[in-house]
Amino acid sequence: MMMSMLLSLTLTAGAAEVSVSGEGHASNPSWSPGGDWLAFEVNNYGGNIDLYLVEVANGNPMNSPQKINIPGASSSFSSGGSVVAAPSWHPRGIVIFEGSNSGNDNRLYQQTPEGAAASQLLTSGQIPGDLSWPSVSTDGKHVVFVSDTSGAGDIYYWDRASNQVVQAVSSPYSEMAPTYNTDGSQLVYSRKNRGSQDLFIWDGSQSIPLVGGNGDQTRPVWAGDSVLFFSNERGDDHWDVVASSGVGEKKTLARDIRLPQRATPALTPDGRWVAYGVENPEVSGNIMFTRTDGSATVSLETGVVACGEPSLIEVDGRIYLAYTALPSEGADWRQLHIADVTSLLR
């Protein structure tokens, strides 16, 4: 299962649970830059997805999660086709996300925790159509996203200073999941072409193929100068975490992982560790951590089952993990948990 050396170090979690009223699977947790807020989705798989924010202090949720409402939305799970999802955080503590109501266009919205109601980030006059896959540059100057306004799905970015929308990548195919590197000089993204996905890097003027092959190479994220991504090159039911440090280069870090609903590989802020759940039922109650150089793997025993959807943040020298899991085999809904994993990863 693991491509790296599995160390004997295992930590048993003392996790805090984030309580959510109503029915649905918790998924896709995303930490704010300061680690004081956690955004996450609740999906009832009935055509609706809600987005919540919960305040966190010292790894513990504070108060009840607050549901984000977009203009025209009604109460949770009460109207068909309402989707509020895919949170991404601006350095100023603003959460940017996708939203749509009852078959209307999918648009980008923004909201400050404990602030005013959500508002559209971009007007239809700036760019019409469906907008998706928002991601924010490290310095907060640009928000990159995918729009169908000029074709199957091309990549644009919004420049915050000028309030202008600029097209970065165009092709006859569908681009997805664009993400900036640390200094904002490059984007990595996936492109759907002839039934599979390949990865490309945009350097500000042109797109350069990074890696391809059988199946999908998808949802890339930068770890320093390397790119981590999910790949099912070994077959549709076998998802792996793979790293690339250059054109055509691939190194498998972990095999048969539990694929998140939408998130990219979960990294510690320093890029040294990637976290993931696994499909193997014997260890489905663990969250695994592998060094991004492939040198070691350690595990967290959670006491619950079917663990996945990890997200990591460092606050005041402590490393916190958010993840989702079923409380037991056969349980109805996935729940959200927070654990301090500092001692495991130091």
Q: What is the pLDDT along the chain (346 residues), one digit of tens a residue?
A: 444 555 545 666 678 999 887 789 999 999 999 999 999 999 988 778 999 999 999 999 999 999 999 987 544 434 456 899 999 999 999 999 999 987 789 999 999 998 878 999 999 999 999 999 999 999 999 999 999 998 789 999 999 999 999 999 999 999 999 999 999 999 999 999 878 999 999 999 999 999 998 999 999 999 999 999 999 999 988 999 999 999 999 999 999 999 999 999 999 999 999 999 999 999 999 999 999 999 999 999 999 999 999 999 999 999 999 999 999 998 999 999 999 999 999 8
- The label of the residue with tokens 């169908």 reads 148
- DSSP letters, 9-35, are EEEE--PEEE---SS-EEEEEEE-TTS
What count of other Cβ atoms lies within 10 Å of the Cβ of residue 80?
11
Query: Dihedrals φ, ψ of 297, to 5°?
Result: -135, 135
Q: What is the rounded CA–CA span in Å between residue 217 and residue 197?
A: 5
11 burial type by CB count under 10 A (0-12 exposed, 13-18 middle, 19+ buried): buried
Which CATH architecture is the domain 27-278 placed in? 6 Propeller (2.120)
Residue 12 β-bridge partners:
301
Amino acid at 68: I
Q: Which residues contact 229 (CB under 8 A, 6 or more apart)?
A: 190, 199, 211, 217, 218, 219, 220, 221, 241, 242, 244, 264, 265
- DSSP letters, 124-175, are TTTS-S-EEEEEE-TTSSEEEEEESTTSS-EEEEEETTTTEEEEEE--SSEE
Closest CA to 244 of 279, 201, 277: 201
Report the SS3 class of residue 345: helix
Domain-wise residue ranges, the chain: 27-278
**CA 119 vs CA 109, 238, 248: distances in Å:** 5, 39, 41
Q: Which residues contact 115 (CB under 8 A, 6 or more apart)?
A: none
Q: What is the rounded CA–CA span in Å between residue 109 and residue 53?
A: 14
Q: Are strands 297-301 and 6-12 parallel, antiparallel or unpaired?
A: parallel
Contact 244, 231 (CB under 8 A): no
Contact 263, 250 (CB under 8 A): no
How much is the pTM? 0.93
